[in-house]
Structure 1
Amino acid sequence: RGVSIVDIAELVMFLQTEYIPHLTLETCIESVNAVLTKREVHNTILTGIQLDILAEEDSLLQPLQSIVAKDEGLYGIDEILALSIVNVYGSIGFTNYGYIDKVKPGILKKLNDKSSGRVHTFLDDIIGAIAAAAASRLAHSNQNVLDEEKK
C-alpha cells in the first residue's frame, strides 16, 4: 500500500532524535523490524488493510462504508485497533502515538491525503502506532543504557 520500512523508521527518528543522542536511521529500522515481529502487530495490519481495501471497493455495508471511506472524525475504531500495537510498549507508546497522530509527519501526511482516491482510514493509524511502538522501544532501551552508565 505504498509504505516502506524506511518511511516508518523516519517517523521513529522524528519522535526520538531529540531524546536519543546519535540516533541513526539504521537503529530506527532495527526497532521497526522488531515491532513487526509481533503476532499482534501482524493481525492488526492484516485487519486494518483489509477494511481499507473493502472500503475502497465499496464493499462494506452502510453506514460503515461511508464512515470508513470518509475517515469520519468521530469514528475511533481505527485508533482503537492501532492502540493494540502501542499497548505492547507501555505508557510512553500512548503519548508517542497521540503526538504523531496529531501532527501527521512524513508518510502519515501522504496517507491522509484524500485526493488520491485510496482509503487509508486504518493504515495511517497503524503506521503511526508501529512508529510509536518502535520509538517507545528505543526510549526504553536508551533508559536502560543511561541507568547502566549511572552505576
Structure 2
Amino acid sequence: MKPTGLYSRDEMLELNIQTLKERTVTVEEIAEVAYRQQAKWSDQVSMADCIDSVEKILSLRDVFHILQLGAEIDRLTDAGLFKGPIQDILKIDLGMFGIDELFGLELAGLYGTIGKTNFGDIDVNKPLVIDRLNGEGKHGGMCHTFMDDIVGALAAAASTRVAQMLNEIEAHKDPNVEEIKLDLDV
C-alpha cells in the first residue's frame, strides 16, 4: 500500500495544475511571463521551452509543497477561517507581511541566485497574470496573497531554467568547427 502523503512526479504535476486552475491560473499564463522575461536576453527562447520548463518545475516535490500550502492558505482566507488579525492581514495582502514573498524566494531559489533575481524583477513589475492576481486580491476578489508570489516564482524559475538550457547548448558548440550554411535556393 502506498504511504499517504507521497506522490509521484506525474501526480504532483497533475495536482499542481489542478490547484492552479482552481486559483484561476494556467500553465500557459505562467509560461508567457517566463517567455517575456527571457526573450529580452535571447532570440532563441521559445514558448514551447517555457511551457515545458513550467511543467517540469511543477513536478518537483518542494514546489508541490510550496504551491499546495500557499493555495490552501489563500483558500482558507477566502473562507474566513483564520482567527484574529492574521485573517485581515492575509485578506488585504498587507505589504509589510512578507511571508508570501518568502514562499516565492524559496521556490525561485531552487534555480539559484538568478532565479531569485528574476523573481525580484517579476515581483516588483508584476507582469501579466501576476498583475491580475494581485489586483483581484487587493480589490475584494479571490485572495491571492500567496498565489501571486508563487506564480511569479514559477515564472522566474522557468525563465532561469530556459536560460540555463540555452547556455548549455551554447557551451557544447565546438569553436573549432565552422558552421556550414546551406544555400537551399539553388
Normalization by structure 2: what TM-score?
0.78
The runs of 4+ residues in structure 1 deviating greater than 3 Å are: none
Which of 69, 72, 96 is 1:47 aligned to? 69
After TM superposition, give the deviation of residue 115 of structure 1 in Å.
2.5
Q: Is the 8 A contact 2:44 2:166 kept in 1?
A: no
Larger Rg: 2
Unaligned runs of 5+ residues in structure 1 are none
**2:118 match:** 96
Q: Is the 8 A contact 2:34 2:159 kept in 1?
A: yes
Q: Percent identity?
A: 36
Q: Which amino acid counterpart does residue 170 of structure 2 have in structure 1? A: L
Which of 135, 138, 144 is 2:159 aligned to? 135
Alignment of 1:1-150 (within 5 A): 1-113=23-135, 114-149=138-173
Q: Which amino acid counterpart does residue 163 of structure 2 have in structure 1? A: A
Q: How many residues align?
A: 151
**1:98, 1:26 → 2: CA distance?**
24
Q: Is the 8 A contact 1:10 1:25 kept in 2?
A: yes
After TM superposition, give the deviation of residue 85 of structure 1 in Å.
1.1
After TM superposition, give the deviation of residue 149 of structure 1 in Å.
2.3
What SS is found at the alignment partner of 2:53?
helix
CA-to-aligned-CA distance 1:103-137 (integer Å, 9 cap, x gap): 10110111011235210000000000011011111
**2:56, 2:70 → 1: CA distance?**
20
**1:126, 1:3 → 2: CA distance?**
11
Higher relative contact order (CA 8 A, sep 6+): 1
**2:174, 2:164 → 1: CA distance?**
16
**1:22, 1:127 → 2: CA distance?**
23
Normalization by structure 1: what TM-score?
0.95
Q: Is the 8 A contact 1:111 1:120 kept in 2?
A: yes
Q: Is the 8 A contact 2:123 2:149 kept in 1?
A: yes
Between Structure 1 and Structure 2, the one with more helix by share is 1
Q: Is the 8 A contact 2:54 2:155 kept in 1?
A: yes
Q: Is the 8 A contact 2:111 2:161 kept in 1?
A: yes
